[in-house]
Structure 1
Amino acid sequence: MNFFLKTLVAGAISLASAGFAVAGDQIVVATDTNFKPFSYRNEDGNYVGYDVDIWNEIGKRIGVEYELRPMDFNGIIPGIQSGNIDVAVAAMSITSKREEVIDFSYPYYKAGITIMVRADEDGVKELGDLSGKVIATKQGTSTVPFLKENTEAGKVAPKEVKEFPNITDAFLELRAGGADAVMFDLPPLQDYAATVGKDAVKLVGPLYLGHFYGIGMPKGSELRKKINVALLEMQESGKLNELHNKWFGSDSR
């Protein structure tokens, strides 16, 4: 958890306070349930995952009733801006562009982007090797501007970038031969390669665009301070490490 403490010491985001919208006595908490192991529906039909556990713990600590609302990632930021969503716990990267339109909590997870190819692919070792190839990813995520910027900089020249509403569709496209690689956040790729895609796909290359996930909310939300305090309490008590160990098997960040 060293990155967490260093981030706080280096410069915490100001804790502005204002009102927030509620649905009756409940706040609306959005999550992207197509992002295993952060949030997904299990075989029993229940929503589970690291993000779900994180928010369940925060909700108890700050004493709010909430409706967990599954939705496509693309609709989350517009939903926050419109006031239809009070909180979003959706493996959302903290970026300067997003910070212009919504507020974020302190970071709770360090991530990055990597490459997944079919197991028999030996010609792709890094980003530049994807020139002339078809790359699949999830629309509205950090990978899209990353690929655009690197294409404009001449670091890669993909034949096509296919954007899908769900990352599982990108996985299927790779397996079916419609894409040469999937480029996306490490955790869901790592999970897929170790489970459903075992022996059929593999991860290659370094970790690109190291970034942090934060909890999103409307500008000026009074929930921000409460959520940040809860995250700090969870870090200090070891609860964050406990949840990380549950879903990722290690307390390393």
Structure 2
Amino acid sequence: MKKLILIISLLMLALAVVGCGGGEKKAADGKAAVKVLKIGTNPDFAPFEFQDEKTKDYAGFDMDLIKALAKQAGYEAKVTSLAFDGLLPALMAGNIDVAISGMTITKERAEKVLFTDPYYKSGLSIITKTSNTAINNLKDLEGKKIAVQIGTSSAMAAKKIANANVREFNNVSDVYMELKNGGVDAAINDLPVNQYYIKTANNKELKIVGSILEAEDYGIALDKKNTEVQKKLNAALAELKKNGEYDKIYEKWFGKQIK
């Protein structure tokens, strides 16, 4: 009976080792416990997050940043791939601790989850086929077929365009494919992502037109109850900007930062 009670007690103790910053595991020396930060991302948003074809590791600006932030805050980063529109539900269900995926801080999202301080300022842009001379600005999209990624600020912006036929896709790669195949007249996506795609794919079929539609701040999302991790990540972000580590990560992916 004593052995049974001991086993039950140990099982209960093991189940209790779960906190706001994820689970814990022993450090290499076996002396200290390291909190694991469970990170959700949609690795289809280069150069912010993508899966390296050779190593299969998750790479990109967001990935480098969240790993540096986790380390600064005393966590071990563990990244999980999820669909973009599944990130916030996963947060609220407690399946992940944070979500970083080029996510714009919006009023609608802030009603459901917490956000860290902004870590990147972006903006939306229009991308069309190079041969398309009819679309040159936002007004020209009225009544046109537009591809966007589901659940994004790009989708929200497209739905405000008069008489537009908005087609939503799970992945950005599908958005570009639909545009290249002629299924839509244009696509709306984050400017740096559009730029990176055209540059890395050496793609002369597509071009960016018009000016930036609207400025956007990216933030790291957390569950409403996860205020402790929010504070730690904000402090870590401030420190990385102070000690120059943030600038190093930024320049690796985007070049010299204009301040």
CA distance in 2 between counterparts of 1:126 and 1:214 reads: 28
* Structure with bigger RCO (C-alpha 8 Å, 6+ apart): 1
| TM-score relative to the length of structure 1 | 0.87
Tell me: CA distance 1:70–1:170, structure 2 relative to 1, closer, same or farther (3 Å): same
CA distance in 2 between counterparts of 1:116 and 1:144 reads: 14
Q: Does 1:58 align with 2:58?
A: no
Q: Which amino acid aligns with 1:142?
A: S
- Correspondence list, 1:8-157, <5 A: 20=20, 22-25=22-25, 26-44=36-54, 45-148=56-159, 150-151=160-161, 156-157=162-163
CA distance in 2 between counterparts of 1:202 and 1:123 reads: 13
Q: Does 1:245 align with 2:251?
A: yes
Q: Does 1:190 align with 2:200?
A: no
Aligned to 1:4: none
- Correspondence list, 1:229-240, <5 A: 229-240=235-246
CA distance in 2 between counterparts of 1:250 and 1:171 reads: 27
Cα deviation code 1:147-193 (max 9, x no counterpart): 22x33xxxx322x1110000100100111111110111111111111
| TM-score relative to the length of structure 2 | 0.85
Shift of 1:197: 5.2
CA distance in 2 between counterparts of 1:198 and 1:64 reads: 39
Say which is worse superposed, 74-83 or 125-134, in terms of deviation.
125-134
Identity of aligned residues (%): 35
Cα deviation code 1:102-148 (max 9, x no counterpart): 10001000011110000111111111101232100100001122222
Contact 2:146 2:158 in 1 (8 A): no
Q: Which amino acid aligns with 2:171?
A: N
Contact 1:242 1:251 in 2 (8 A): no
Aligned-CA RMSD value = 1.4
For structure 1, list consecutive stretches of 5 or more residues without a partner in the other structure: 1-18
Larger radius of gyration: 2
Aligned length in residues: 229
